Structure 1
């Protein structure tokens, strides 16, 4: 499938039963400002662009939400448990972005989309969720160019200091995305 724009992406996700099941499962939690994001979204795009018939295995399915009133990490673990009961074969990871700035030692996020814009790589700064009619909504704070051209580049935040640039570079080595998707191009800080 050729993916050239946001409409092509929406069709790609909307016609994937597995992705739709995951989104519908997360939607049942009724979390504020929720998204399924990062590698879950990028991997589907790059698998498609590489012509893979089978999905590249995921370390986890990242679910984020934004709730300043519920910043206890234990609540996130409760949500993961609920999701595991609903879909036990999925490696769920749930994070409240209202507290994640503390973990990352950066200024507070204003929303989940703000948090997505501050992920380390532009091609991973993507999110999906469902509207009230179960239509896919996609957020792409850095646009689609890098993910569609299979470029791994640091977001501006991860270029803003030597410490964050080092985190980006370490992730590039650890994730070794080029071994999974050989057509990607890695850009360094």
Structure 2
């Protein structure tokens, strides 16, 4: 909630907290582990049509300045409008430009990772989950049906099972 309330106050355009900070928190609750067990970072996606590095860096610095440690070192902010500029070089797969932050969720490695949340102005939490929530609550890792098995699939599933041996991998 600290991350959600802090980022909400910053008014980033079209933002979501997603990936590990969401599904890993659910898995910790389900398995009786401490809330922060296994969490490496808090991924924040936002969407600004200015795809320059300088524009993204302004947001990154603004978010970092809003947090004290240990959050400052673990909150990672990325403009989803820029992902297509660097994704193929980093991951070896083509990546078409996105039209918004929620669209990015449909391209995540597996459905369980593809959940984003945002704390709204009325204190409700909105959830974006293009594949639904069953895999998150069932602790299932399966390839995203809309893309070929990602190059990082084995690494991602091995890492998840190492921390949450209760999760099942279905290929």
Shorter-normalised TM range: 0.7 to 0.9
Contact 2:47-2:79 within 8 A present in 1 as well: yes
- 2:28 corresponding residue in structure 1: 47
- Select 2:6's aligned residue among 3, 16, 25: 25
Contact 1:23-1:129 within 8 A present in 2 as well: yes
TM-score by length of 2: 0.86
Let me know the Cα RMSD of the aligned residues.
Answer: 1.7
Contact 1:127-1:140 within 8 A present in 2 as well: yes
Alpha-carbon shift at residue 138 of structure 1 (Å): 1.0
Q: Give ranges in structure 2 of 5+ residues lacking alignment.
A: 88-93
- 2:81 corresponding residue in structure 1: 98
- For 1:94 and 1:73, locate their aligned partners in 2 and report how far apart those are by CA, in whole Å: 12
- 1:135 corresponding residue in structure 2: 124
- For 1:37-116, what aligned pairs fall within 5 Å after superposition? 37-68=18-49, 70-88=50-68, 89-90=70-71, 91-104=74-87, 105-116=94-105
Deviation by residue 1:79-113 (Cα, 9 ceiling, x = unmatched): 23222222122111111111112322221222111
- For 2:59 and 2:152, locate their aligned partners in 1 and report how far apart those are by CA, in whole Å: 28
Contact 2:46-2:101 within 8 A present in 1 as well: yes
Alpha-carbon shift at residue 118 of structure 1 (Å): 0.8
- 2:90 corresponding residue in structure 1: none
Contact 2:46-2:78 within 8 A present in 1 as well: yes
Q: Give ranges in structure 1 of 5+ residues lacking alignment.
A: 1-19
